Structure 1
Amino acid sequence: MPGGLVALLDDISVIARVAAASIDDVGIAAGKAGTKTAGVIIDDAAVTPSYVTGLSPARELPIIWNITKGSLKNKLIFLLPGALILSWLLPSAITYILMLGGSYLSFEGAEKVMEKLSGTKHGKTLEDPIEDPAKFEAQRVNGAIRTDLILSAEIMAIALNEIASVTDNFLTRALALAAVAIAVTLVVYGAVAMIVKMDDVGLHLAKKESSAARKLGRGLLHAMPRLLVALSFIGTIAMLWVGGGIIIHGTHELGWDGLYDIAHGAEHAVAEATGSLSGVLGWLAYASVSAIVGLVLGFVIVLVLHKVFGFGHGPGKEAEAH
């Protein structure tokens, strides 16, 4: 009996060590994937506040919660199983899916740039009167969840690509993908909730007796419009940078190194010329080339869709804030 107990305890310790190693693998894989998806996360966090702009402040948090639930459903119910099955049956398709998503992000970013430069709008916007608030809110939520599906697909595809380079264990991949999906969703929509309620917090503080609180409140109220403008700008840049970067990497994976060599050549040239700031400025050079690639590709897609096929005009497009 003692011998059997010792053997049992030894087996348990082995299992515990294996489990601990698996948890560690999940953490490493999820962490590496999280850093690679940062650009899409920035874009997601920057774009989402526009979906509650113009609606009642009392409805902002419920709307964000509905979008959060939709995002988790997108990632965990649809994209996670699909990504795992795809990585198992047809791993080479991940590159093409990434490039398709990169093209979409480039299109969205270029469309925003063109609208800013020309002053024209595609589809219904917040400048139009809201005739049915409930219907408009439902459209906003559905539109946000559809946009989230694209961005979430990019996040999951990028994450899977990185996780696959760390481990080939199916369960570890699944757990790491789930960890990335949940963490990204909570970070993005938690940040969005804080951003959209900043003006309410500022208004509350501005009514306090403390002069310091009132000053902070007025500062928040003053900063909120500028923050939303900055987020819109950052979101557009992130779309172009991430979209172009995905295209550059994808073409390299498919054997065409022209864009890849230009981007990395610029990165290395700037890094070598800038000394102590080489890391940051080298990355900035690569990101700038990626954004230019995304912008050019996006312009081509916009022109084809709008001018050739006539998509994106009139009331057929869901109400979106551009």
Structure 2
Amino acid sequence: MATPLSWPKHVYKLTPGDIHYLQRTHPEVPLWRTSLLRELTPQADDSEIVASAQTTFGGIRLRAMRIHGGPHSITDLVKKLHRIPTKPHENLIQIRGLYAVDDEPLSLFSLDAPRITVMQYIFTHPHQDRRQMCADVARGLDHLHRVEIVHGAVRPANILVRPDGVCMLGEPSDEDIPHPGALTRLAPYLAPELFDPAAYAIFAIDNYRRDEYSGEYRVESDIYALGATTIEMYTSTPPAPFHIPFKTITTSKELFHLTRTPSTAEVEVIPHRIRAALSDIMHVLPYHRPHSGNALQWLERPDVMRVRACAPVNAKTRMRRAARAFWAA
């Protein structure tokens, strides 16, 4: 149905048949195919087009999507967009649908989104409350996690700031599993389990066994990315990627005691209680990381004693644990 474009790499062009299919199968998600945006002037790099037009639509933001799996991936993206709450949230940009023309990449379409990223804002406002900005990001992420939406693209370049200093989390990732290029380019923000899921399976961690995990983004990896983003917002430098030395770490007990060492800049700049929270938020074991509600609370009120609580265990996980206990008896 879709044919690959030569630029950008891995982006698929929507044919009229693709557009008709999406409109027929997912009528609830708006899909624009119009020449309205011809007057827009790009103001960013090739991965993100930020523009505005003097139209009744007001400010318009387009983000080119790199679709790696053809029409099926596009359909998955549409389903994810449909699940995003339609009620506006002050810490999330409002995605209105998809934009597609025959000779341009598929793009997410959002209105009234800020143009400046969080690191650009921090550069021009060095005395802005970093903790409050981090809490803004956590609040937007918590809003998505409460409706079981994995964001997959939590990083400073995807956080926009309004003129009043309020941070807004940008568009979710257009892929479920990071492609090889992302494993290198976005390494500072990726949880350790994402780099080599097959090797990670040897630790036999619940929900991350060989038949349960293929390297996809999950809420736990979103939490890790939130921690990495917090570090960069405080220090202006992304943290070093956290790779597991599989040759020397061979058991889950050894893995539990593997911790990342804060950099000198982190120790000097980040408050002690925030650093202590980050040690759990960026823990090497996914189940040891807090759920989004606790992470938000830790950033909003770092002076309050932290309560470690994992995300609610679903029925499927309960059944697996019960079965393993039964056969082990």
Instruction: Give the structure with the higher percent helix.
Output: 1
Q: Give the TM-score normalised by structure 1.
A: 0.28
Kindly name which structure, 1 or 2, has the bigger radius of gyration based on alpha carbons.
1
**Bigger relative contact order (CA 8 A; separation at least 6):** 1
The normalised TM-score by structure 2 is 0.28
